[in-house]
Structure 1
C-alpha cells in the first residue's frame, strides 16, 4: 500500500510536467508565428529598398529585384542630409530621455514620499495630461513658441516632450513611491540624512531599474514622434528623421524604392539602440515584477 501511495504523486508530477511542456511549446509556436507576421512589412521594406524603379514598376512590390540597386540609399542620404537629421533626432531624444527621467523622479519623490497636499488630485491630473491628444496641444504650443522666440528650434521640442514624457513618468513613479518602505526612510532620518541624501542614497538605488526602463521608453517614444516636430521644426537644419522621411515622400511620391531605402536607413539607429539596451530593459522589467 505504501508503494502505491508514493507512486501516485510521482505519476501526477510527471503528467503535470508533461502538460506544462506541451503548453509551453504551443505558446512558443504562437509567439514565433506572431513574430514572423510582424516581420513581414520589414521584409518587404528590405526587398524594395534595393530594387530599381524599373523593377518596381514592372514587377510590383512583391517581385524579386533583378539587380542590387543602391541608388535609392545614396539619394536619400544626400538629399535629406541624413547625418544632420540623425544628430537632431539623437540630440532631441537623448535630451528628453534624460531630462524626463530627472523631472519625473523629482516630482514623484515629492508626491510619493513628501507631504504634498492633494497628492491624489495631482497624480490624477498627471494621468489626465497623458490622455490629451497632441492635436489638442499643437496650436497653444505653436503660439507660445512663437511668442517667446523658440519656434523652429530644437530647444522648443526638447522642452515640450520633456513635459509630456515626465507626465507619464511622474504618474508611474509616484504610484511606486507611494508604497515605498517607510522603515528605510525612518532609518535614514535617524541617521541624520537630509532630503537630498534620502533621495540619492535610499530612493534612487531602489528605483534604478525602473528609471532605466523609463529612459529607454522616453528615448524611443521621442525618436518616433512626428506631429509636433513637423509643426515646430520647419528648417532643414533642425528637422528630425521622421520629418525628413515624410518630406521625401512628398517630393518623390512615386519613387517607392527611395522611400523604402530611407525608411530602412532611418530604422537602423533605433534598432541598434534597442539591441544595446535590451538587457537593461529586461532587467528593469524583471526587477519591477519581482518588487
Structure 2
C-alpha cells in the first residue's frame, strides 16, 4: 500500500514592518496618559512662558495689553535695570560659589558617613540613620536663632561660609541617609576580595566604593547644587550685606522696592532662572544615567 505523507505547511515569517506596527500600536489608555502628561507639562511651563514674555515687555505695553499678550517691541531696559541695581555678576558668583562648595562638601561627608554606617557596620547604625533622617526633617525656622547666636559668637555672621557650613550639614544629613541604605546592600564578595589583595580601608573606599557608586554621587551633586541655589530663608537671615547676597535674595529684596515695575521683576526672575536651567541641561544626561544606574541592580 502506498502511504501518502501529509503535506507540511510552513508558515511564512511575518514582515518586520507589520511586526513593528503591531508592537507599537497604542491603546486608548496610552493616549490618555500621553494627553495627561502633555497637559501637565503645559501647566508647569506656563509660568516660565509668562515670565519670558513679560521680561521683554515695556511697562506701558504691560499696562495696555496685560501679562498674557506678546510684546509689541522687545524691551531690554528691565533686564539692564536689574543687572545694574543688584550688581548681578557679583550675586551670580556668590550663588555659584555657595552652591558648588555645598554640593562637593556635602557629598564627601555623606560618603564618609555612609561608608562607616553602611559598610563599617557601627553599633546602633539603625538609630544613627534615624537621627540623620529626623535632622533632615527639622524646619529651617527652628534653626535660625541657635545658628544666629552661634555664628555671632564665632564671628562668621554675614559671611558666605556660615551659609556653606549650614547647608553642608543639612544636605549631608540627607546624603548620609541615602548612601547608607545603598552601601548597606553592597556586595561583600567585592570587599573581601579587595581585602585579600591587601587593600586598606582608604583604598577600598577610593578605588572600589566610590567608582562603583559614581552615578549616585553625581545625582547627589546635582540635587545639592540646585537645592542650595534655590534656598532663600537662611541666606536672607545670615547674609545681610549687599556684597554677600545670593541671586534669590537679591530678587526678593528688589521686589520690595516701590520703584520696581512688573517687567523688571519678570526680568530678575528670568535672570535668576537661567543659570539653574543651563546647569540642569548640561548635566541632564549625567542625572539620567545616575537614576537609571540606581534603578538597575
> Shared fold (TM-score greater than 0.5)?
yes
1:72 to 78, 87, 90: 78
1:105 to 101, 111, 114: 111
* 1:147-177, Cα deviation, whole Å (9 max, x unpaired): 1100000000000000000000000000001
- Show the counterpart of 1:130: 136
Give me the whole-angstrom Cα distance separating, in 2, the residues matched to 1:285 and 1:252.
45
Q: 1:27 to 1:155 in 2, by over 3 A?
A: same
SS of structure 2 residue aligned to 1:237: helix
SS of structure 1 residue aligned to 2:97: helix
1:290 to 268, 272, 296: 296
- Show the counterpart of 2:62: 56
Give me the whole-angstrom Cα distance separating, in 1, the residues matched to 2:266 and 2:21.
52
Cα distance, 1:116 vs structure 2: 1.0
Which runs of 5 or more structure 1 residues have no equivalent in the other structure?
8-12
Q: 1:14 to 1:89 in 2, by over 3 A?
A: closer
- Show the counterpart of 1:93: 99
User: How many residues of Structure 1 are paired with residues of Structure 2 in the alignment?
Assistant: 286
Which runs of 5 or more structure 2 residues have no equivalent in the other structure?
1-8, 15-19
After TM superposition, the score normalised by the length of structure 2 is 0.90
* 1:97-145, Cα deviation, whole Å (9 max, x unpaired): 0001000000000000013111000000001111111111111111111
- Show the counterpart of 1:82: 88
Cα distance, 1:229 vs structure 2: 0.1
- Show the counterpart of 1:230: 236
Q: 1:230 to 1:120 in 2, by over 3 A?
A: same
Greater Cα radius of gyration, structure 1 or 2: 2
The answer to which of 131-140 and 21-30 deviates more is 21-30
The reply on whether 1:36 has 2:42 as its aligned counterpart is: yes
Equivalent positions of 1:1-291 (< 5 A) are 17=23, 23-252=29-258, 255-291=261-297
Does the CA contact (< 8 Å) of 2:254 and 2:260 recur in 1? no
Cα distance, 1:219 vs structure 2: 0.2
Give me the whole-angstrom Cα distance separating, in 2, the residues matched to 1:25 and 1:286.
25
SS of structure 2 residue aligned to 1:61: coil
SS of structure 2 residue aligned to 1:209: helix
Give me the whole-angstrom Cα distance separating, in 2, the residues matched to 1:241 and 1:235.
13
Give me the whole-angstrom Cα distance separating, in 1, the residues matched to 2:264 and 2:43.
24
* 1:182-234, Cα deviation, whole Å (9 max, x unpaired): 11111111111111011011111111000000000000000000000000000
The answer to which of 272-281 and 64-73 deviates more is 64-73
- Show the counterpart of 1:10: none
Cα distance, 1:58 vs structure 2: 2.6
Give me the whole-angstrom Cα distance separating, in 2, the residues matched to 1:183 and 1:51.
63
Q: 1:22 to 1:205 in 2, by over 3 A?
A: farther
Give me the whole-angstrom Cα distance separating, in 2, the residues matched to 1:14 and 1:221.
43
SS of structure 2 residue aligned to 1:262: helix
**Root-mean-square deviation over aligned CA pairs:** 2.3
Give me the whole-angstrom Cα distance separating, in 1, the residues matched to 2:226 and 2:266.
21
